[in-house]
Amino acid sequence: MPIRINLLAEEQAAEELRRKDPLKRAIIIAGAVVAVVIVFAGFNTMRVKASTSEANAIRQAYEDIKDKELKLKEIRAMTGRLESNINSLQRLATNRFLCAPVLNELQFCVLDGIRFTQFVMEQRFEEYAAIPPPPDTNEKGIPAKSIEHVSFQIYADDSAGQYNEFMAKIADRFDGRLRKRDGVSLQTLSDPIDAADGSGTYRAIVIQCRYPSVTREP
């Protein structure tokens, strides 16, 4: 039986040891781990950059929406003021006092011996500014308002002493439209005055008629 001698056994054993060297294996594994970490870090960096860009876009969109919201609030407030003014003008246009109906009613109140000399209409407003609510409370403020006072005066000459009948007729004719208590009152009753044509005497009278006060709010 032939004997075989491997003259390269030592070199092969050394090569095998080098191939199975744990340090080399550790270096290879560490290099692979570092490469994976580098790739993962690069991927995360790209994701962070993309997220930052998206966040900046969202922030810019939010700022744009916020500016539009402020403009819309200003437009809404201005629209509310305009609507309030329009409503006030509409009420003023439809509720303003007209003298023609009053004069039409007074023509049915004429009595013999009563001669009209002057008619004066007065329309007066009392303005009250709004009172804001106290700070840090849930109480409501008091809105601005105006109180309208309407009255008219009749100047006449009474040559027959019929001013009481004249006032009663006015009160009856304007029933329900004038104030209940002092809707019709005698403001002036002069002493007898001689007529310029010598036909007798008369008394100058002034009768005031008041309408109920009306409160108007914006």
At residue 153, does pLDDT exceed 90? yes
Looking at per-residue pLDDT, the higher value among 186 and 47 belongs to 186
pLDDT digits (tens, 9 = 90+) for 62-112: 888 888 888 888 888 888 888 877 776 666 655 666 788 888 899 899 898
At residue 189, does pLDDT exceed 60? yes
Q: What's the pLDDT at 162?
A: 93
Domain ranges of the chain: 8-96, 99-216
HSE, side-chain direction, 13 A CA sphere, residue 19 = 6
Looking at per-residue pLDDT, the higher value among 13 and 196 belongs to 196
Q: Is 3.30.70 the CATH number for 99-216? A: yes
pLDDT digits (tens, 9 = 90+) for 13-61: 666 666 665 666 667 777 788 788 888 888 888 888 888 888 888 888 8
- pLDDT band for 218, please (50, 70, 90 cuts): low
Q: What's the pLDDT at 210?
A: 94
Mean pLDDT computed over 155-183: 92
